[in-house]
Structure formats: C-alpha cells, structure tokens
C-alpha cells in the first residue's frame, strides 16, 4: 500500500524519480500499458533508460495503422526492449463480425463500445493480471473525463493502483520532452492525428478542435473506449 507521505513524495518528484519510487515499492508488479502514443513513448523512454523493472505491453486490436507496427519495431530496437503484445480473442472477433459486420461499430455507440470491449478492454484485463500498479500516459487536459484524475488512484474494479505520472503535463511539455530526448514517435502525429487509435475510428483534427475530436468522430460521446473510465 502507498502511504499518504509516499504519494506526496511521488507527486513532487521528477518523472524518473517518481517512476523509481513506485517501482521500488512494487518491484516486478508494475506495468505500463502503451498505445505507442506520444505520452506513452515518453514513459517508455524514462523506464528503459533508467532500467526500471516495469513490464511494458501494448494492445493489438487488429485494426491499427501500419505506422503503429513500424513504431513498435523502432521502439524495441532503440531501447533494446521487447514490448509485449496482447490480442483479442479470435472467437470474440469472429462472433462480433458475424453478428454486426466488420464495421458494425459505425452503426451505434453500443456497437462501438462492444467492439472496444472485445478488442481492447478484455485484452487489457488479461495483461493486467497479477499487476499491483498500472502506469498510464493519461493527462488531465485530454478530456473532461480525465480532468479530475489524480496522479495515483486506487482502481477498485481491478484491485490495483493506477499511476498517471503525466497527469499534470501539458501537451507542449510532452512535445518538448520528445524533442529533447529524440524519442521515436508516430509520424501520423505530424499530420494532425493527436490521439491515435484504430484506423477506422481515428481521423486527423483541425486546428482548434478538441484533442479527442478525431476519435470516434461520427458519434457524440465522452470519447472513451472503456479503458480509462473515471468513476
């Protein structure tokens, strides 16, 4: 368990120091879920360079952009790591496509959330088995749902701590860190894709649009897939 004193120390520490404080408390039971987005690349760099005992994994939904796979290979090679890849269950995908079609998620919010559950939430739950700390790249300015999140939260449903070390970072701070450290990133970011998910569910955004506007752009929702729903 984290004490209030430990949480305060983590909140005041630098990124690398905060990550070390957390992994010192929970060695071999801390994981990073990476979408290979800019924030997650920042965290991967900090973890790899400081040789911290964190398992890094990503979810392959089967509908990702080619650039994602290219970046995965570059990241593994750059930091000499092996990011674990989790896939959805074949039977789940086959049943969904048979019942609702390959692109049934366009037809309703319910269909889209079911697709996200099959392709993302269930694989995530498998990846988090045995973990005591789940590191994420969430930032408070990304969406209304995330603005009240704390740096360290207890996830009652999953029975672990959720550690959001970048929760107070601005987007410019992320970009500056990537530039300073020469961190590899998805070239789609340079083409207006701020938040990148599955290819059929992501578009570039226009200047001034909300950062999450490009996700599930055809629907009016909270722009969440279910991985980080804040209670």
Catalytic site includes residue 225 = yes
Burial of 43 (C-beta count, 10 Å sphere; 0-12/13-18/19+)? buried
Of these residues, 115, 116, 201, 225, which one is catalytic?
A: 225
Cα dihedral sign, 97-100-104-108: negative
Query: For residues 181 and 39, is the Cβ–Cβ distance under 8 A?
Result: no
Active site residues: 225
């Amino acid at each position: 368990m984290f004490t209030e004193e430990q949480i305060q120390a983590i909140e005041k520490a630098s990124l690398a120091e905060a990550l070390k404080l957390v992994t010192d408390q929970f060695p071999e039971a801390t994981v990073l879920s990476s979408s290979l987005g800019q924030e997650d690349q920042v965290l991967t760099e900090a973890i790899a360079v400081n040789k911290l005992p964190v398992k890094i994994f990503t979810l392959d939904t089967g509908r990702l952009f080619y650039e994602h796979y290219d970046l995965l290979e570059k990241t593994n090679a750059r930091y000499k790591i092996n990011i674990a890849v989790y896939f959805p269950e074949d039977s789940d995908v086959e049943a969904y496509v048979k019942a609702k079609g390959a692109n049934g998620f366009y037809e309703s919010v319910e269909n889209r959330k079911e697709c996200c559950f099959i392709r993302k939430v269930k694989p995530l739950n498998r990846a988090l088995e045995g973990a005591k700390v789940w590191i994420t790249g969430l930032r408070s300015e990304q969406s209304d749902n995330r603005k009240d999140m704390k740096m360290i939260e207890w996830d009652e449903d999953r029975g672990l701590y959720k550690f959001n070390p970048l929760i107070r970072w601005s987007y410019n701070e992320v970009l500056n860190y990537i530039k300073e450290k020469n961190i590899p990133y998805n070239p789609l970011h340079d083409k207006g894709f701020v938040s990148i998910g599955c290819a059929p569910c992501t578009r570039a955004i226009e200047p001034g649009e909300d950062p999450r506007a490009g996700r599930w752009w055809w629907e009016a929702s909270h722009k969440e897939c279910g991985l980080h729903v804040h209670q």
